[in-house]
Structure formats: C-alpha cells, structure tokens
A and B are shown apart, each in its own frame.
Chain A
Amino acid sequence: AQSVTQLGSHVSVSEGALVLLRCNYSSSVPPYLFWYVQYPNQGLQLLLKYTSAATLVKGINGFEAEFKKSETSFHLTKPSAHMSDAAEYFCAVTNNAGGTSYGKLTFGQGTILTVHP
C-alpha cells in the first residue's frame, strides 16, 4: 500500500521568498517519489524524482527536494520564488511492491502555489 499527504492545499509567498511545499508518504516498501507541476489548463510536468540514488534531488526551474526516510518526507523547496512558479504542485509515490500495481503513481491532493509581487 502507498499514499501521499500534502500539507496545505494553498501556499502563498512573495516573489523572492522561499518556497516550501510539504509532502509526506506512506509505503510498505522503499518508495520512489516524484513532484509534478500543473499550470492552468495544461497537463502535468515532472519537476524531479527520487530514485534512491541520492537523497537530495535537483530538478528543473531551480526546485529541489530532499528524501528523509526517518521523517517519511519529500518536501519541495525553491530558494527564491518567481511569478512564473504560480501553479499547482503534486507529490506522487510508487514502489516495487509488484503485483498489479506496477508503475502506478499515487498522487497527493495537490498544493496551489500563489506568488505575490
């Protein structure tokens, strides 16, 4: 079984401020974790993914996330927010539990990021 909880359905920051979007996961076996971004009226785009190679993962557009097994977390951060970062962000998990779940991504409920000038 696997699940994801994103804390905060809405996050608002000022341009230039730190962005922190929280994600906690639950997985019966070692997880693989993803962050996707969805701009209005578009599909999802991968920001970054954790595949067990390194706990600090760098992605596109200046985003990064750190896998913390002890905290079952995979929070997304960006040092300085831009107006163009305004979008909805989804954390997702999959694992190698096998069976009929291969490749299945389980998504969190999403966090809408608003960036104020």
Chain B
Amino acid sequence: DSGVTQTPKHLITATGQRVTLRCSPRSGDLSVYWYQQSLDQGLQFLIQYYNGEERAKGNILERFSAQQFPDLHSELNLSSLELGDSALYFCASSADRGITDTQYFGPGTRLTVL
C-alpha cells in the first residue's frame, strides 16, 4: 500500500459526459501528479500540482482540468468524454524535496467510456 488513495476504482460512463476523479496523497506529501495509462499511448504525464499551485504540465487535453485543494487532495476533471479517453488514470504524490524524490502511485481509476 503506497498510502495514495484514489476514488472511484472503476468508472463507466457515456460519450459526452463529465467525470471527476479524486486523489488523496500520502500524509505530508505536497506534490500530486496525474498520469494516464492507455494501450496505445502508454503511460503519459498529464499535470503536477504543488501545494495548491500548478507546477508542470504535460500533454493534457483542454477538455481535462485539475486542481489541488487546501487539504492537498486533488481532483482531475474530464469533460466531453470521448471513446479514446478510456484509460487507467493514476495519481502519484511526493514530498517534493527535489526532482529525484520518489513518486508514490495510487492504485488508479479505470475509466471506460461507452
């Protein structure tokens, strides 16, 4: 158990809908990262938040947005969903003492868009 929790574990929805994925980092970790894992794209970095502020951005679609709240949990919002958004979405957290700090991954949320 990494100490990172993600809810829900599974999500099934229809095209055009909007969903919210939630992540609680390990106790004391200030950084939260979101990754997408799909069969065709592999594991891709989406976005990082540090202590409530956006710090780094990957190839995140404009339909996707994220935020980190004062209690440090984070939410990833996916809107106007398409079939191709079906994937496993991971959240990771780190204490962020430096760039090589270990990122601890949650179990993921499996999103299926029908």
Contact = CB atoms under 8 A, between A and B. Distances in A.
Partners in one complex: yes
Interface of A: 32, 36, 41-46, 49, 51, 90, 94-96, 100-110
A45 B48 CA distance: 19
A103 B55 contact: yes
Give the interface residue-count category, chain B.
20 to 34
Contacts, number: 62
Given A43-B105, A44-B105, A45-B2, A103 B43 contact: no
28 contacts: A32-B99, A41-B107, A42-B107, A43-B2, A43-B4, A43-B90, A43-B105, A43-B106, A44-B92, A46-B102, A90-B43, A100-B56, A100-B57, A102-B55, A102-B56, A102-B99, A103-B33, A103-B55, A103-B56, A103-B99, A103-B101, A104-B56, A104-B58, A105-B35, A105-B45, A107-B44, A110-B42, A110-B43
Interface of B: 2, 4, 31, 33, 35, 42-45, 48, 55-58, 90, 92, 94, 96, 99-108
Contacts of A43: 2, 4, 90, 105-108
B105 A45 contact: yes
Nearest to B54: A100
Contacts of A46: 102-104
A94 B99 contact: yes
Contacts of B31: 103
Contact of B100 (A49, A106, A108, A110): A49
